[in-house]
Amino acid sequence: MPQILDNALGAVGHTPLIRLDKIARLSGLRCNLLGKVEYMSSGGSTKDRIAKAMIEAAEREGRLIPGKSVVIEPTSGNTGASESVLSMPRVLTCGLGIGLAMACAIKEKEVALRALGAEVVRTPDDAAWDSPDSHIGVARKLQQEIPYGIILDQYGNLNNPLAHEYTTGPEIIEAVVSTHSTLARPSSGKIDVVVAGAGTGGTISGISRAIKKSHNKDCVVVGVDPHGSMLVFPDESNKAKEKTSYVIEGIGYDFIPDVLSRDEVDSWIKTSDEEAFAAVQTIMREEGLLVGGSSGSALSGALRWLCSDAGRKVADTEGLNVVVLFPDG
Which residue numbers are catalytic? 47
CA distance readout (Å), 173 to 14, 17, 183: 12, 10, 21
Closest CA to 199 of 151, 260, 158, 245: 260
Beta carbons of 297 and 169 less than 8 angstroms apart: no
SS3 letters across 240-286: CCCCCCCCCCCCCCCCCCCCCCHHHCCEEEEECHHHHHHHHHHHHHH
What's phi and psi for 122, nearest 5 deg?
-80, 140
Give dist(CA 39, CA 289) in Å, integer: 9
Q: Name every residue whose Cβ is closer than 8 Å to that of residue 207 and which is 6 or more positions away in sequence.
A: 164, 165, 168, 169, 172, 194, 196, 221, 325
Q: What is the DSSP letter of 91?
A: T
Q: Name every residue whose Cβ is closer than 8 Å to that of residue 292 and which is 6 or more positions away in sequence.
A: 39, 45, 105, 249, 250, 280, 327, 328, 329
